[in-house]
């Protein structure tokens, strides 16, 4: 699910064309009154076969139903999604809209927008039964792993067997937190840091990744001249010979958090100085934020990565991601060193792939983590939400990056002991940038 300008949209898009489908039946129908609050699911029937992976269920606020689990296609014309309704409540949603048009026919044409407004009746919602709710949650989770989890087959796990072993324990869980903890054990063999649960806004992981990073964050203020910690995300420095240094700990959604990085970048532009961008301890975040920053280093659109999505047990065609120039800033034309390693994760790896496309950029350090999933939030209906990776991240050649990562241009083999009193990766970057340009 994705929130855009106050609108909740579930989406996956293809750019194809054909003849427009229409909704011929919906349960509940638009304008319905006294709808049973115990109605378990939305059902939408189209007049022609539809693409199983494309959808736009549009709405927002307290009139948008609480959907649980993952949607499914009962057949090629019937879309079904479980939900939980409240008595005497007004609801509104739309199948496609003027802006979001991703319910598409197999011929590729967007469906005509079909709003559904209804009100539930006075009938009381049936009291919850923890065991029943948990069993329903298990079914939703199992469907999500079987049909939508992008790395379902990566480690050869027999997921049907795992669920058979854990279902009774999950059904007996006395709380949402206990359910999430047991479910975390169930999913642990996936070894996926992007697969986790949320309970009361708290994260319950399924896997803890413990690897040595090629950076000593505590020592950096002593090693980087002119060190300044601007905020929790950005630190900067400037060496006596003019080289500008920027440490980025994540790619935040809030532009103001990344603003000091752009300021440091402009200092380097104005001074005509080389630049070091350190993402060795960057856990990812917003790939669009990474694109904004990396866009300052290219003069024209350039492809940097690919991915495929998994939905309803099928993989989409590969989608190529492009980096656009950031026209709000002058293009940086001096040399750049990007420092990376096993602490460079997810969208930070996307950033490394973006910077690989720059002719004046050199990646220095170790391979990156090889961990990206673009997880989607799935409400299981019992107070637990699952975050399930939806894509396989690929390089431009179509090679899978999960568990493999991205190799640097200059590899620095070092041990944790090497970072106790120094930083061989930073030293190599300074050496590289201070060397005369090759002709």
Q: How far apart are CA 209 and CA 195, in angstroms?
A: 12
Residue 16 has pLDDT above 60, yes or no: no
pLDDT tens readout for residues 181-208: 999 999 999 999 999 999 999 999 999 9
Give the contacts of 194 (CB within 8 A, at least 6 positions apart): 346, 371, 372, 373, 374, 375, 387, 389
- pLDDT at residue 130, as a whole number: 84
Least confident of 98-102, 105-109, 127-131: 127-131
Give the pLDDT confidence of 377-422 residue by residue, as tens digits. 999 999 999 999 999 999 999 999 999 999 999 999 999 999 999 9
Element (H or E) spanning 86, and its range? none
| pLDDT band at residue 11 using 50, 70 and 90 as cut-offs | very low
Under the banding of pLDDT at 50, 70 and 90, the label for residue 14 is very low
Per the omega criterion (within 30 degrees of 0), is the bond before 288 cis? no
In the chain, pLDDT over 70 holds for what percent of residues?
94
State the pLDDT at residue 2: 40
Q: Can you tell me the distance from the alpha carbon of 366 to that of 364, in angstroms, rounded to the nearest whole number?
A: 7
Quickly state the pLDDT bin for 143 (edges 50, 70, 90).
very high
CATH, domain 220-370+405-434, list 3.40.50.300, 3.90.1150.10, 3.90.226.10, 3.40.50.150: 3.90.226.10
pLDDT computed for residue 126 by the predictor? 63
CA dihedral 360, 245, 212, 193 (to 10 degrees): -80
Domains of the chain by residue range: 2-120, 130-205, 220-370+405-434
- What is the enclosing helix (H) or strand (E) of 270? helix 255-271
Helix (H/G/I), strand (E/B), else coil: 296: helix
Confidence of residue 19 (pLDDT cuts 50, 70, 90): confident
User: What CATH number is given for 2-120 in this structure?
Assistant: 2.60.40.1220
More confident residue, 5 or 192: 192
pLDDT score at 125: 59
pLDDT reading at 6 higher than 60: no
Calculate mean pLDDT across residues 216-231: 97
User: What angle in degrees, to the nearest 10, is found between the helix axes of 159-171 and 176-187?
Assistant: 160
To the nearest whole number, what is the mean pLDDT of the chain? 93
- With cut-offs at 50, 70 and 90, classify the pLDDT of residue 128: low
What pLDDT does residue 54 have? 77
Q: How many residues does the chain have?
A: 439
Helices within 173-286 (DSSP H only):
176-187, 220-223, 255-271
Instruction: Quickly tell me which residue has 């002709």 as its tokens.
Output: 439
């Amino acid at each position: 699910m994705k929130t855009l300008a106050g609108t909740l949209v579930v989406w996956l898009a293809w750019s194809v064309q054909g003849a427009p489908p229409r909704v011929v039946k919906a349960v509940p129908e638009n304008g319905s009154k006294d709808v049973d609050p115990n109605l378990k699911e939305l059902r939408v029937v189209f007049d022609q076969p539809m693409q199983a992976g494309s959808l736009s269920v549009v709405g927002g606020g307290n009139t948008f139903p609480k959907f649980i689990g993952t949607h499914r296609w009962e057949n090629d014309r019937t879309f079904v999604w479980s939900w939980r309704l409240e008595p005497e409540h007004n609801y509104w949603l739309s199948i496609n809209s003027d802006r979001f048009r991703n319910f598409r026919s197999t011929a590729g044409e967007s469906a005509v927008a079909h709003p559904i407004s209804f009100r539930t009746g006075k009938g009381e919602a049936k009291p919850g039964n923890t065991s029943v709710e948990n069993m329903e949650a298990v079914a939703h989770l199992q469907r999500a792993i079987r049909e939508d989890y992008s790395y379902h087959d990566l480690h050869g796990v027999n997921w049907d067997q795992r669920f058979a072993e854990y279902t009774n324990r999950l059904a007996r869980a006395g709380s949402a937190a206990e359910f999430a903890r047991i479910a975390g054990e169930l999913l642990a063999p996936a070894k996926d840091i992007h697969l986790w649960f949320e309970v009361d806004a708290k994260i319950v992981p399924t896997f803890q990744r413990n690897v040595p990073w090629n950076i000593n964050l505590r020592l950096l203020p002593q090693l980087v001249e002119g060190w300044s910690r601007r905020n929790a995300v950005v630190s900067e420095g400037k060496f006596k010979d003019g080289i500008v240094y920027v440490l980025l700990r994540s790619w935040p959604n809030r532009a103001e958090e990344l603003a000091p990085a752009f300021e440091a970048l402009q200092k380097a532009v104005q001074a005509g100085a080389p630049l070091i961008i350190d993402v060795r301890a960057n856990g990812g975040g917003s790939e669009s934020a990474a694109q904004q920053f990396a866009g300052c280093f290219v003069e024209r659109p350039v492809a940097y990565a690919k991915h495929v999505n998994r939905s309803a047990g099928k993989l989409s065609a590969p989608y190529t991601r492009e980096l656009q120039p950031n026209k709000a800033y002058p293009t940086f034309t001096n040399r750049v060193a990007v420092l990376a390693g096993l602490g460079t994760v997810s969208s930070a790896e996307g950033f490394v792939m973006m910077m690989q496309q720059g002719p004046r950029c050199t990646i220095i350090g170790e391979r990156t983590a090889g961990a990206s999933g673009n997880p989607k939030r799935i409400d299981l209906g019992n107070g637990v939400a699952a975050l399930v990776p939806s894509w396989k991240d690929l390089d431009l050649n179509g090679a899978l990056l999960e568990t493999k990562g991205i190799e640097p241009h200059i590899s620095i083999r070092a041990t944790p002991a090497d970072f106790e009193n120094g930083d061989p990766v930073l030293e190599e970057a300074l050496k590289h940038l201070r060397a005369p340009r090759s002709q």
